[in-house]
Each structure stands twice: as structure tokens, then as C-alpha cells.
Amino acid sequence: MNKLSYGLLSFLSTYPQTGYDLMIRLNQFWHTNHSAIYPLLSELEEKGYVKHTLKEQQGKPDKKIYCITEYGIKTLKEWLMSTTEDAVIKDESMLKIYCFGILDKEIVEKILDEIEFNATNHLNKYVAALENFKGMDCPLNMQFFGAYLLVQKAISDAKLKVKWCQWVRSLYTEDGNLFDNKFMDFLDLF
């Protein structure tokens, strides 16, 4: 049982889904892709954590709709109670930011623009997802509560990133030097 396996069980804990669904939804919060998911689902089924039913389709491969078993839920809950490992984060933009000290303002601007652009895209995506939740007639029910929390988190993360980009820009003077107020802090509002 590797970490991705628990990711699949987690996302199957709310409602049955296909491997394709899992690829789309899980990937929003855990970097992965379909060729890692499909074989793992088969393995999880062999071990009895999940099972699938077929739904016939025309023009496309038949859907395999997976649902979690009692044993899968039990295993999932054991993992949920166990110590959480450190997040694995590999973000090229962090590396690029580290280099800002040796770069001219124009290049810094370009990289900042890209980071802010990506953050804004993320923000829009998650804001749209939030709209979907708000469009539902039901309240914060069991099935969507976790996803709702994650979307709220993603939105605030994205907003913070945009703010941070703007803060970094504010550290430069118009002629491309750094203001020499020594140590300005980001977001004292916290």
C-alpha cells in the first residue's frame, strides 16, 4: 500500500467513481495521472479494498465504476489515524524565486508574472468549483464536505500567492533597484 493507494481509497470513500474520474478529481490535490491509477485500482481490487461494476458504453471503453469495500474503509480509517508524513513538494517556481537576487528586475518581473498568472488560473478554477458547491440544493453534506474544505483551502492559497507576487514587486523601485528599507515583512495583517 503506497500513498497513492490511500489517495484512491480516500476519494472512493465518498462515492463510487471510475478510474478516469479519480484521475481528474484526485489530480487536483495529489499530483498523478491515469497510467499510475489504472494498474493500482486493479491491485486494490485483487486485495479486496475496492470492487467494480461495468457500465456499457458505445464508442468508448466500458466504464469501470469502482466502489470501496468494508475492508477498504477499515484499512482507510487505520491510515487516517496513523501519523501523517511530510508533504512532498517539488515546485520549480520556488527554485526560480531563490535566484531573484542574481537577476535583473525585468527577468524577475517575467517570472513573477508567470507565477501570478498561474495562481490566478488556479484561483479561477477553484472559485468555479466553489460555485458548483453553492449551486447545490443540499447543505454541506457528508459526500462533499471534504472537497469543499479543500477548495476553500486552495482558494486562499492561490489568493495568498497573488498577494505575495504583488508584495515582491513593491520591493523594487522604478529604476529596477531594491528599496533599501532593509526588512519589510509580507502580510503583517496576520
Contact set with DNA (CB under 7 A): 2-4, 18-21, 24, 31-36, 38-42, 57-64, 88
Q: How far is the CB of 8 from DNA (least distance, A)?
A: 10
Among DNA, its own copies, none, partner that 33 touches (CB below 5 to 8 angstroms by kind) = DNA
Q: Is 56 in the site for its own copies (CB under 8 A)?
A: no
Q: Which of 46, 92, 174, 175 binds its own copies (CB under 8 A)?
A: 92
Structural contact between residues 71 and 49, judged by C-beta atoms closer than 8 angstroms = yes
Q: Is 3 in the site for its own copies (CB under 8 A)?
A: yes
Among its own copies, DNA, none, partner that 89 touches (CB below 5 to 8 angstroms by kind) = its own copies
Which CB sits closer to DNA, 24 or 184? 24
Burial class (CB in 10 A: 0-12, 13-18, 19+), 84: exposed
63-68: strand order across its sheet:
17-18, 63-68, 50-55
How many CB atoms lie under 10 A from the CB of residue 48? 12
DSSP 147-188: HHHHHHHHHHHHHHHHHHHHHHHHTB-TTSPBP--S-PPS-T
Which CB sits closer to DNA, 36 or 80? 36
Which CB sits closer to DNA, 16 or 146? 16
Q: How far is the CB of 21 from DNA (least distance, A)?
A: 7
Q: Which of 42, 45, 47, 164 binds its own copies (CB under 8 A)?
A: 164
Give the cell for residue 15: 462515492
Among DNA, its own copies, none, partner that 143 touches (CB below 5 to 8 angstroms by kind) = its own copies
Q: How far is the CB of 121 from DNA (least distance, A)?
A: 13
Q: How far is CA 93 from CA 23, 96, 125, 161, 189, in A?
A: 24, 5, 20, 11, 25
